[in-house]
């Protein structure tokens, strides 16, 4: 007769299935202590046999041994292994690296701030650093706002940068026009929601392709109310997709929209300018004059008025330059470190390419 | 050692290769041209049903189980090319003996493929992989190999010195394959009168007496019958392109059935290329369209030839012949039928042919296989095949010319760049390493980035002493206000000798916005006298 004994143990809630051959041995006098259920007809002559009892004890010992082994292999939640810290790579700006430890690979990093807050400057610096490491990068540009000249000036290896310019509907007729003519047609077709949809699909494809060192999603030109239409599940999907890849996923926007999906959240803003700071800047400009006068180009201070050139400095005759834009960066959230008691902030400056 | 590959029932084999699903069916091939359409070849199962090559098409149609196909010179030429590919994948010295026969010189191939039997089995297997059921024979001379391949099914190996013994039982008719019918009949009737019916009998005839009666021709036939004829092969050149073609019974209108056919053709081309250890860097798809003129007006693509500046696809439509051509250029040699199919599908979705398709022709330019070994310390890059597919998909989303890498032009004009195809290559690796070493020594300066408004935003600018003091941008409410600081002007001009001359003054201005101070680049077009905001510093 082919039947099986199914015994359950309350402690582990596991099922033990014994075949018909062992069943006869188990279902003896001590079978009830094992918790076995003996079908009718199995309580035969073995009930009184001593060797059968020994066998039952051996089986019981084996089961106990197996149970202890299984229990030993299951680690309690308190002893779960900590997820290894992500590899950090340089952002291209020493001050940001000092503040955040760099940009984490396999994580989503958000950079946000208002217009002129230095987001693109930080993005280009990160791209420059990544391309100089020999990595291939991708910029998915929702607003078609990237300036290749600025990228080249920032030191980005343009051959290693894939630029996806979202914002138009694909049509074969667009092949025939020139760049300028196309702008007029594209403007009619451009729609923020359409750009956003293209950006998300392109980002999905790039993450699926893999092999990129840095993928940047440029949402800086999108209004926050439109950018917030991206479902949180999309950000979770991006985070999950990039998790096991050596890719830095960088999102750049006006306001933080990815929520807890971002491992690093950096807020940027242009330094407030008041009368005292302006005076200080004028002093700095005076100190930095010799360096600035390279190549015979005169240089003013940060966002300096023509008329406010310091005394002793030769007043420029024809033009002033916009230099040294001071940017404040603040780490709002970081998974890599515990949140500091006070928000960590740094100030770094950027200067226009032609200031030397 | 020589090997001969023979495809029995070649017309049927060509159809089976083009339509593998017919292998299990009874198939009869009929000649289209003469008015009584006659059956020219039948498959084994059709023969069992009583269909013979002497029947007319109307007679064969009475048997409902038989599938009739017109004889296609195109399919046969492709099958012949495949036969040569199969032979050339084993030996560089291949003779194109007939449409259904190829001869290989196996000298020196033993170390690569093993002895005669192993080579013969390998050739038979390769032919099967390429969709041809072939007879393969290996012998010490080419003619003996050909005779054996024509008469013995499967794989035959004739040991050295055993040619006469092996070929002896064969009928004398095997010697006259490819002869003119009259000449062959004369000689066969003579041999019949002499009582010579097989090769053993012909081989046993005295040479002098035979030459007295049949001349040098007789001696040549006797040499063949003994398996002792010797000659050098006339090698055939390697093909410049690998082609597959299909003529459709009914025009295809939708892309889905077209993709099904393309898939089969691509798999066949890839198998052929793989058998030669080759890949391809260029695929040319030519679609012959039905009733081109009427569809031409609908699709508004009359007699045009356009090519994307950065795209990997070129489209050509010829009005003389109703053909629609697409060329798929790949950055690196690749050999992946699925990838090619996806790329062609994406391309045809973006550029539909515009008329029903009656004939498909696919050609692949052969290229050497890509040999690449990743370095231990080289950063990972996207796989070329995956990247190509990703780029094609993104291009179908945003447009072909809106995805790629940037190439800066030698000009100071605004937007002085152009998009080019994005290729991950290691061509300039050494140069870049040097650049990096040089750059790392320099002190890095953070460069302020400009974000461009495309197209530029027209602005109303209030001037005071020739300098902007207030900016109003009607299209973008954020970009307006009193100028807090300004720097400039920076005057530039160029291309004055051309129609697209430009001259402009650039100002960097700071405006107070709701979120704080924002920096913009203001441009005064001196030729048109208009102001616009070109971008913002960010």
- CATH number for region B2-160: 3.40.1170.60
Burial of B427 (0-12, 13-18, 19+ CB in 10 A): exposed
- The total number of residues written for chain B in this structure: 538
Give the residue with greater pLDDT, A292 vs B170. Answer: B170
CA–CA–CA angle A289, A290, A291 (5° rounding): 90
- Written as tens digits, the pLDDT of chain B (538 aa) is 889 999 988 889 998 988 888 888 888 888 877 677 788 888 888 888 888 888 888 888 888 888 888 888 888 888 999 999 898 888 888 988 888 899 998 888 888 888 888 888 999 999 998 888 899 999 888 888 888 888 888 888 888 888 888 888 888 888 877 777 777 788 888 888 888 888 888 888 888 888 888 888 888 888 888 888 788 888 888 777 888 888 888 888 888 889 999 999 999 899 989 888 899 999 999 998 886 544 444 443 333 333 443 445 555 555 455 888 999 998 888 999 999 999 999 999 888 888 889 899 999 999 988 877 767 777 778 888 899 999 999 999 898 889 999 999 988 888 889 999 998 865 445 445 545 555 555 556 788 889 999 889 999 999 888 888 899 988 888 888 888 888 878 888 988 888 889 999 998 888 887 777 888 999 999 998 899 999 998 8
Read off the pLDDT of residues A238-283 as tens digits, 9 standing for 90 and up.
999 998 889 999 999 999 998 888 889 999 887 755 444 544 554 4
The predicted pLDDT at position B311 comes to 47
Contacts with B, A 35-94, CB within 8 Å: 92-94
pLDDT band at A173 (very low <50, low <70, confident <90, very high): very low
The predicted pLDDT at position A278 comes to 47
pLDDT band at A128 (very low <50, low <70, confident <90, very high): very high
Chain A residues in contact with B467 (beta carbon < 8 A)? 306
**Nearest Cβ partner of A148 from B378, B406, B489?**
B406
pLDDT band at A7 (very low <50, low <70, confident <90, very high): very low
Chain A residues in contact with B383 (beta carbon < 8 A)? 209-211
Location of each CATH 3.30.1490.100 domain in chain B: 239-292+301-371+381-439
Q: Quickly tell me which residue has 């790392």 as its tokens.
A: B440
pLDDT band at A339 (very low <50, low <70, confident <90, very high): low
The predicted pLDDT at position A163 comes to 95
Mean pLDDT of A91-114: 90
**Nearest Cβ partner of A176 from B306, B398, B488?**
B306
**Nearest Cβ partner of B382 from A151, A209, A305?**
A209
Mean pLDDT of A176-182: 43
Nearest to B159, CA basis, from B227, B112, B97, B103: B227
**Shortest distance, CA B382 to any CA of chain A (angstroms):** 4
Topology of domain A88-269 in CATH is Rossmann fold (3.40.50)
**Shortest distance, CA A2 to any CA of chain B (angstroms):** 47
Read off the pLDDT of residues A38-50 as tens digits, 9 standing for 90 and up.
444 444 444 456 6
Alpha helices in chain A (DSSP H): 20-26, 31-34, 50-73, 94-100, 119-132, 148-153, 179-189, 192-209, 224-227, 232-242, 275-287, 289-292
The predicted pLDDT at position B246 comes to 87
Count of C-beta atoms within a 10 Å radius of residue B9 = 18
Give the residue with greater pLDDT, A285 vs A147. Answer: A147
Q: Which residue of A has its CA nearest to B520?
A: A116
The predicted pLDDT at position A23 comes to 45
Location of each CATH 3.40.1170.60 domain in chain B: 2-160
Chain B residues in contact with A167 (beta carbon < 8 A)? 398
Q: Are A284 and A347 in contact (CB under 8 A)?
A: no
CA distance linking residue B200 with residue A203, whole number of Å: 76
Q: Are A104 and A263 in contact (CB under 8 A)?
A: yes
Q: Quickly tell me which residue has 């291309």 as its tokens.
A: B495
Q: Are B482 and B470 in contact (CB under 8 A)?
A: yes
Mean pLDDT of A127-147: 92
Chain B residues in contact with A93 (beta carbon < 8 A)? 446
The predicted pLDDT at position B515 comes to 73
The predicted pLDDT at position B302 comes to 36
Which superfamily, per CATH, for B239-292+301-371+381-439?
DNA polymerase, Y-family, little finger domain (3.30.1490.100)
Select the residue from A164, A300, A317 to test the B interface by mutation, using most B Cβ atoms within 10 A: A164
The predicted pLDDT at position A234 comes to 93
Could B450 and A144 be called an inter-chain contact, meaning their C-beta atoms sit closer than 8 Å?
no
**Nearest Cβ partner of B447 from A143, A198, A351?**
A351
Question: Which residues, including other chains, have CB under 8 Å from residue B227's CB and lie 6 or more apart?
Answer: B139, B140, B141, B143, B144, B147, B158, B163, B164, B166, B167
Has residue A175 got a pLDDT over 60?
Answer: no
Interface ipTM = 0.76
Read off the pLDDT of residues B94-123 as tens digits, 9 standing for 90 and up.
988 888 899 998 888 888 888 888 888 999
- The answer, for A147 touching chain B at a CB cutoff of 8 Å, is yes
Lowest mean pLDDT among A45-54, A289-298, A347-356, B501-510: A289-298
Select the residue from A174, A319, A326, A328 to test the B interface by mutation, using most B Cβ atoms within 10 A: A319
Q: Are B517 and B510 in contact (CB under 8 A)?
A: yes
Has residue A28 got a pLDDT over 50?
Answer: no
Consecutive H or E run containing B328? strand B323-334
The predicted pLDDT at position A20 comes to 44
The predicted pLDDT at position A75 comes to 72
Read off the pLDDT of residues B479-496 as tens digits, 9 standing for 90 and up.
888 888 888 788 889 888
Q: 3-state DSSP call for residue B153? A: coil
Mean pLDDT of the residues in chain A: 71
Q: Quickly tell me which residue has 């020196």 as its tokens.
A: B108
Read off the pLDDT of residues B33-91 as tens digits, 9 standing for 90 and up.
767 778 888 888 888 888 888 888 888 888 888 888 888 888 888 899 999 989 888 88
pLDDT band at A285 (very low <50, low <70, confident <90, very high): very low
The predicted pLDDT at position A8 comes to 36
**Shortest distance, CA B528 to any CA of chain A (angstroms):** 16
In B121-241, the DSSP E strands lie at 135-139, 155-157
Give the residue with greater pLDDT, A343 vs A215. Answer: A215
- The answer, for A189 touching chain B at a CB cutoff of 8 Å, is no
- Could you please report the per-residue DSSP string of A240-273? HHHTTSS-EEEEEESS--SGGGEEEEEEEEEPP-
- Could you please report the per-residue DSSP string of B227-274? T-------BPPPPSSEEEEEEEEEEE-SHHHHHHHHHHHHHHHHHHHH
Q: Quickly tell me which residue has 């960088």 as its tokens.
A: A250
- Sketch the domain layout of chain A as residue ranges: 5-75, 88-269, 271-329+345-356
């Amino acid at each position: 007769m082919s039947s099986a004994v199914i015994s359950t143990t309350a402690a582990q809630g596991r099922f033990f299935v014994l075949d018909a051959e062992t069943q006869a041995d188990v279902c003896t006098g001590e079978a009830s202590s094992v918790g076995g259920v003996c079908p009718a007809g199995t309580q035969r002559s073995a009930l009184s046999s001593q060797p059968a009892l020994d066998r039952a004890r051996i089986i019981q010992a084996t089961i106990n041994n197996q149970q202890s082994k299984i229990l030993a292999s299951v680690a309690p939640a308190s002893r779960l292994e900590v997820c290894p810290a992500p590899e950090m790579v340089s952002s291209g700006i020493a001050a940001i690296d000092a503040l955040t430890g760099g940009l984490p690979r396999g994580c989503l990093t958000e950079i946000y701030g208002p217009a002129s807050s230095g987001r693109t400057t930080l993005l280009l610096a990160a791209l420059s650093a990544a391309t100089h490491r020999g990595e291939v990068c991708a910029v998915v540009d929702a607003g078609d706002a990237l300036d290749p000249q600025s990228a080249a000036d920032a030191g980005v290896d343009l051959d290693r940068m894939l630029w996806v310019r979202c914002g138009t509907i694909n049509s074969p007729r667009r092949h025939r026009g020139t760049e300028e003519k196309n702008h007029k047609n594209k403007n009619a077709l451009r729609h923020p929601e359409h750009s956003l949809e293209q950006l998300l699909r392109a980002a999905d494809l790039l993450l699926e392709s893999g092999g990129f060192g840095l993928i940047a999603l440029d949402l800086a030109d999108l209004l926050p109310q439109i950018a917030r239409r991206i479902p949180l599940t999309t950000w979770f999907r991006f985070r999950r997709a990039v998790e096991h890849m050596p890719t830095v996923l960088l999102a750049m926007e006006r306001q933080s929209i990815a929520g807890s999906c971002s491992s690093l959240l950096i807020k940027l803003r242009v330094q407030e300018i008041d009368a005292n700071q302006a005076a200080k800047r004028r002093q700095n400009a005076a100190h930095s004059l010799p360096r600035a006068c390279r190549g015979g180009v005169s240089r003013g201070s940060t966002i300096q008025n023509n008329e406010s050139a310091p005394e002793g400095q030769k007043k420029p005759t024809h033009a002033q330059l916009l230099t040294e834009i001071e940017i404040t960066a603040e780490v709002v959230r970081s998974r890599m470190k515990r949140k500091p008691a006070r928000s960590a902030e740094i100030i770094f400056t950027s200067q226009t390419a032609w200031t030397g | 050692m020589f090997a001969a590959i023979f495809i029995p029932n070649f017309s049927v084999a060509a159809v089976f290769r083009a339509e593998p699903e017919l292998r299990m069916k009874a198939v009869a091939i009929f000649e289209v041209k003469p008015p009584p359409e006659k059956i020219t070849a039948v498959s084994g199962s059709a023969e069992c049903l009583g269909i013979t090559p002497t029947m007319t098409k109307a007679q064969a149609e009475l048997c409902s189980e038989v599938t009739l196909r017109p004889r296609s010179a195109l399919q046969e030429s492709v099958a012949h090319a495949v036969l040569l590919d199969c032979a050339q994948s084993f030996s560089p010295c291949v003779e194109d003996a007939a449409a259904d026969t190829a001869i290989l010189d196996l000298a020196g191939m033993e170390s690569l493929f093993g002895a005669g039997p192993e080579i013969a089995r390998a050739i038979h297997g390769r032919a099967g992989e390429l969709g041809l059921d072939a007879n393969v024979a290996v012998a010490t001379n080419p003619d003996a190999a050909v005779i054996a391949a024509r008469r013995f099914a499967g794989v035959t190996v004739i040991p050295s010195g055993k040619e006469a013994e092996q070929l002896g039982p064969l009928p004398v008719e095997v010697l006259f394959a490819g002869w003119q019918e009259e000449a062959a009949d004369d000689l066969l009737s003579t041999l019949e009168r002499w009582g010579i019916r097989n090769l053993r009998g012909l081989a046993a005839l005295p040479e002098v007496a035979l030459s007295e009666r049949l001349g040098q021709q007789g001696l040549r036939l006797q040499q063949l019958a003994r398996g002792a004829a010797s000659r050098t092969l006339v090698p055939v050149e390697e093909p410049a392109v690998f082609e597959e073609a299909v003529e459709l019974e009914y025009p295809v209108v939708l892309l889905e059935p077209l993709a099904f056919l393309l898939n089969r053709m691509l798999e066949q081309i890839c198998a052929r290329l793989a058998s030669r250890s080759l890949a391809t860097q260029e695929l040319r798809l030519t679609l012959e369209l039905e009733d081109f003129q009427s569809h031409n007006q609908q699709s508004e693509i009359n007699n045009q030839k356009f090519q994307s500046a950065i795209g990997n696809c070129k489209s050509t439509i010829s009005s003389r012949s109703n053909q629609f051509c697409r060329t798929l250029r790949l950055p690196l040699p690749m050999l992946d039928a699925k990838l090619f199919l996806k790329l062609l599908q994406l391309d045809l979705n973006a550029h539909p042919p515009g008329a029903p398709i009656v004939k498909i022709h696919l050609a692949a330019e052969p290229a050497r296989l890509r040999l690449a070994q990743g370095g231990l310390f080289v950063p990972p890059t996207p796989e070329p095949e995956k990247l190509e597919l990703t780029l094609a998909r993104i291009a179908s989303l945003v447009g072909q010319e809106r995805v790629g890498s940037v190439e800066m032009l030698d000009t100071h004009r605004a937007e002085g760049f152009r998009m080019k195809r994005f290729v991950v290559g290691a061509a300039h690796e050494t140069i870049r390493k040097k650049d990096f070493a040089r750059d790392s020594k320099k002190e890095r300066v953070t460069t302020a980035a400009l974000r461009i408004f495309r197209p530029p935003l027209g602005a109303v600018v209030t001037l005071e002493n020739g300098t902007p003091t207030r900016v109003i941008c009607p299209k973008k409410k954020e970009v307006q206000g009193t100028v807090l600081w300004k720097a400039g002007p920076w005057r530039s001009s160029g291309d004055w000798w051309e129609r697209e001359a430009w001259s402009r003054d650039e100002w960097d201005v700071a405006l107070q916005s709701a979120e704080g101070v924002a920096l913009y680049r203001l441009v005064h077009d001196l030729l048109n006298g208009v102001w616009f905001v070109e971008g913002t510093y960010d």
